[in-house]
């Protein structure tokens, strides 16, 4: 079967689908000989212990239990105990994940993860019931139709959010900075994910990329071509908005990076076994913009594949990163199909930016820090990779925690405020002029010099 490479942001799921980011899909599941494995006799004793517990539960639990449920729960517990991004998917969840990589799925349009028993919103997907209902990143979903989600697995919670199109569902959520629970009612829809939106803001081409699926690179290429045709010689450059983009397919992250690069490394991965490590380089002539200035917007919801793109463009000095520190997921997951049509998602490698740094637990530090609001946002629960349980260590990369110091920033960055003034208008997604990070990003862009004017 064809190998697919991709990345996953946490144990993230979209309400109605598993989030499609897969790193590696490989055909048969097998065991690999390893001289460092535990003593076989001890292993057999532990397997006997598992069998004893299994039989005791089957025989004596207060109610009859399904053998498949017991085994699947045990497998999932084994994987989720490793790190936040390894997990087991039954046949339905695996099928859902495969569907979403094509960009169409059913549900509410919420990307969610689980931490400490809470179902937490990673990001609402643009133009979905969740986005229109005002669901925000960081919201904790407490109940669905009056029933608590406490004690449910992420799969079970997502299943409850699914349903027939046009059926209503009521959510009670805990929102950061809001004392009382927030009640939200919305109707389920078939979600057709439009991963790229673009527009011409005067002399600046704005491109919003919401996730990395099979549509991402083709959609970016169309958007760049359209904006260049609209802007003509007046076009000053491009804004690539990766805010609240939780990631997706690795091959798409590489392709999107190459859409703005002509040369140099994009990303490398290092696995436990050196023969499985890989490196991806940009292809000559790949920059679709002809070297026009590029600014990338990132925030704490920018993760995984988004961080690969941001890290590559930052390290190669192709773009200036504006915003706040990104999520910090620097690992790669392999999706391995199993008997019975399920699969396991297993962390198999770390990835590194072109300068050799790992962003695991650290994130991408912006070149120009610009916050969304003037108020300090209170913290409620985990916000970034480093806040999660069982996180991987940051190892194998260069010592520096951020990109090497830049000497190519335009002088205007010294004048860019890190927070909006008190009289700044409230954010309105229909009015770009209220988006403080975007406004400052455009100011930086207009002060940049083209990278390769002759290539236009």
Burial 131-161 (b: 16+ CB within 10 A, else e): bebebbbbbbbbebeeeebeebbbbebbbbb
What is the enclosing helix (H) or strand (E) of 172? strand 168-174
Burial 39-60 (b: 16+ CB within 10 A, else e): eeeeeeeeeeeeeeeeeeeeee
Q: Decide if 239 contacts 207 (C-beta within 8 A).
A: yes
Output the CA angle 119-125-130, nearest 5 degrees: 65
Is 69 catalytic? The answer is no
What sign results for the dihedral spanned by CA atoms 392, 397, 401, 406?
negative
Which of 210, 302, 304, 306 is an active site residue? 304
Is 358 catalytic? The answer is no
Under DSSP, is residue 13 helix (H, G, I), strand (E, B) or coil?
strand
Q: Largest Cα–Cα distance of the chain, in whole Å?
A: 77
CA distance 170 to 192: 22
Which of 96, 315, 367, 435 is an active site residue? 315
Which phi and psi (to 5°) does residue 115 adopt? -150, 130
CA distance 362 to 268: 17
Beta strand segments in 17-109, E: 17-18, 24-25, 87-89, 104-107
**Sheet of 320-323: strands edge to edge?**
196-201, 204-209, 237-241, 294-298, 320-323, 368-369
CA distance 17 to 100: 7
First to last CA, the chain: 40
Give the DSSP per-residue string, 253-266.
HHHHHHTT-SSSEE
Nearest to 311 by CA among 383, 218, 404: 404
Structure tokens at 412: 């205007």
Under DSSP, is residue 412 helix (H, G, I), strand (E, B) or coil?
helix
Beta strand segments in 302-412, E: 320-323, 331-337, 343-352, 368-369
Nearest to 418 by CA among 447, 391, 440, 449: 440
Which of 329, 331, 358, 435 is an active site residue? 329
Is 329 catalytic? The answer is yes
* Catalytic center residues: 304, 315, 329
């Amino acid at each position: 079967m064809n190998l697919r490479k991709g990345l996953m942001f946490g144990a993230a799921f979209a309400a109605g689908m598993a989030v499609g980011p897969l790193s590696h899909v490989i055909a048969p599941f097998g065991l690999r000989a390893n001289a460092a494995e535990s003593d076989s006799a001890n292993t057999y004793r532990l397997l006997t212990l598992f069998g004893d517990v299994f039989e005791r539960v089957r025989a004596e639990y207060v109610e009859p239990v399904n053998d498949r449920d017991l085994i699947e729960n045990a497998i999932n517990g084994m994987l989720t105990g490793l790190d936040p991004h390894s997990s087991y998917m039954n046949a339905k969840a695996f099928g859902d994940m495969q569907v979403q990589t094509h960009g169409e799925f059913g549900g509410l349009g919420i990307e969610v993860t689980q931490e400490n028993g809470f179902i937490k919103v990673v990001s609402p997907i643009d133009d979905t019931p969740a986005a229109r209902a005002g669901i925000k990143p960081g919201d904790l979903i407490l109940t669905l139709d009056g029933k608590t989600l406490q004690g449910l697995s992420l799969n079970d919670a997502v299943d409850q959010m699914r349903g027939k199109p046009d059926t209503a569902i009521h959510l009670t959520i805990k929102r950061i900075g809001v004392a009382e629970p927030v009640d939200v009612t919305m109707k389920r829809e078939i979600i057709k994910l439009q991963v790229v939106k673009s527009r011409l803001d005067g002399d600046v081409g704005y491109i919003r990329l919401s996730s990395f699926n099979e549509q991402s690179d083709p959609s970016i290429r169309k958007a760049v071509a359209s904006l260049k045709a609209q802007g003509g010689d007046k076009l000053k450059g491009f804004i690539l908005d990766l805010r609240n983009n939780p990631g997706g397919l690795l091959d798409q992250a590489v392709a999107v990076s190459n859409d703005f690069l002509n040369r140099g490394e994009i990303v490398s991965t290092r696995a436990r076994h050196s023969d499985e490590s890989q490196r991806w380089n940009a292809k000559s002539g790949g920059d679709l913009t002809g070297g026009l200035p590029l600014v990338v917007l990132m925030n704490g919801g920018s993760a995984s594949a988004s961080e690969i793109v941001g890290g590559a463009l930052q390290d190669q000095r192709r773009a200036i990163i504006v915003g706040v520190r990104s999520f910090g997921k620097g690992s790669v997951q392999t999706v391995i199909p199993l008997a019975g049509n399920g699969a396991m998602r297993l962390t198999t490698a770390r990835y590194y930016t072109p300068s050799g740094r790992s962003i695991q637990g650290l994130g991408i530090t912006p070149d120009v820090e610009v916050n969304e609001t003037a108020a300090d946002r209170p913290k409620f629960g985990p916000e970034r990779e480093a806040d999660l349980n069982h996180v991987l260590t940051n190892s194998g990369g260069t010592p520096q925690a951020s990109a090497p110091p830049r000497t190519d920033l335009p002088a205007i960055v010294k004048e860019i405020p890190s927070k909006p003034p008190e009289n700044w208008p409230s954010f309105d997604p229909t009015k770009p002029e209220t988006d403080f990070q975007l406004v400052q990003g455009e100011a930086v862009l207009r002060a940049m010099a083209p990278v390769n004017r002759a290539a236009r």
